[in-house]
Amino acid sequence: MLTGVSASDWETLISTWLPPQLLKSLGEEAIDSTFDFLNEDNVEASLSLYDLKVQLIDPNSTNAVMSFLRTQPPCSATDLLNLATLAEGSEFILCQPPEVSIPFLQTAIEKELQVAANLLPEEKTFLQEKDKSSDFSTH
């Protein structure tokens, strides 16, 4: 879990991690699906998360997270203890780990990204008929 991440940190992480074409296609799909829903061409608006799941388990994603961590302030001793329990579900600490810990941390990040990918559905519905109200009415 990432907490205490600034907007700037999110921007850096996302721009390093997710290819612009993937973000563009997700955005376009969301817009198209929303308009199809609003125009009553579909009974729901949904977004395929398959490509995002694939990206999460790609080795480049682990490399992107590691690159991002190298831009952070050095880890304190407490931070290192928290990172050592990462695989056990502790809060993820944003800090620059010492080189000696990189192999362990990289393996832990790969596992966490795999868990995240497994938790994501293949598709997410974000609007349904029950969501329609007078605000969506075309009559």
Model confidence over 7-28: pLDDT tens digits?
888 888 888 788 899 999 999 9
Name which residue leads in pLDDT, 55 or 135: 55
**Is residue 133 a part of any domain in this protein?**
no
In a domain, 137, yes or no: no
The pair of structure tokens assigned to 124 is 């997410």
For residue 2, being part of any structural domain is answered with no
Is residue 25 one of the residues assigned to a domain? yes
Please report where in the chains the tokens 């961590």 appear, as a residue. 69
Single pTM value for the model: 0.74
Residue 102 lies in a domain: yes
Tell me which of 128 and 9 has the higher pLDDT.
Answer: 128
Q: Is residue 131 part of a domain?
A: no
Domain membership of residue 138 (yes or no) is: no
pLDDT digits (tens, 9 = 90+) for 44-69: 999 999 999 999 999 999 998 898 88
Q: 91 is in which domain, residue-wise?
A: 7-126
Torsional sign, CA 123, 129, 130, 132: positive
